[in-house]
Chains A and B, each alone.
Chain A
């Protein structure tokens, strides 16, 4: 194997930046959630499409992570699944306040070694955590928390607070 050439090819690939990055993130999040609900409820895509009154191919595209559904379509899916697909940040804030995390600083969170109980999703939705991560002296500790949280919550990217 030509290791130098291989390295060069992969580096070039890694450096590509998609102009649709944010859109793709959302598409994949929506896809992940719908797929999880389908599994949990034992529904097929066809059944969900029928229940929601949308086209099967449209649902298939959304589930593949390539769809661009309207808000109306997402609401139809939420109603059919009886679950939230779009979750506003304020929702997470309420949940985190309830769990006593919201008022802690990033440093305090790390110092409390909350890695054993915090979920990956809670880290993901805590903006202040993300923003201050690069400048925070407790970076290593945070990484440990994230790694642990990943192990705990490999299956569910988006939290279920029921």
Chain B
């Protein structure tokens, strides 16, 4: 999954700005793929997820407790989820003002590793996280107080 990508603004609100990831050669961003996934769209909790999502954007900010830690111990990979419908939406959690959403789906297995699509979605966000952390260390990536990225948004795989 070590592909070049670009961070693009997904949806923004008064309390937060959400970004998503566009991998090289893809027609849709990862966030849009999630929203366009038929299984997700048919899920009974999808409408609730939308309401939670916009409440974060407009009223509450992306508070940590709404996200579940899914990556490695010290990374920023989380899953935004609505337990009722077993929806998992992988992301890189930066702050309550900024989150980068990836892909995800409906979790029907006990372990994420047993579902190829979910596993791939999670690993993609681990890669994004890894690149961001490196860019951060090098002083090439930053986010301002209201959640807007001020550093680089294009990440070439060769550099990371």
Chain A residues in the interface with B (C-beta under 8 A)? 1-2, 5-6, 9-10, 12-14, 16-21, 24-25, 28, 31-32, 35, 61, 63-66, 146-147, 150, 154, 157
Contact = CB atoms under 8 A, between A and B. Distances in A.
B63 A147 contact: no
Interface of B: 8, 11, 14-15, 22, 26-29, 32, 35-36, 46-48, 50-52, 54-55, 59-61, 63-66, 82-84
Contact of B65 (A5, A25, A64, A157): A64
Nearest to B10: A10
B89 to A, nearest CB: 12
Given A6-B28, A35-B65, A18 B11 contact: no
Contacts, number: 78
Looking at A5, A12, A16, A146, the one whose CB has the most chain B CB atoms below 10 A away is A16
15 contacts: A5-B28, A6-B29, A9-B36, A16-B50, A16-B51, A18-B47, A20-B48, A25-B55, A28-B52, A61-B83, A63-B65, A64-B66, A65-B52, A66-B84, A146-B14
Looking at A13, A31, A61, A64, the one whose CB has the most chain B CB atoms below 10 A away is A13
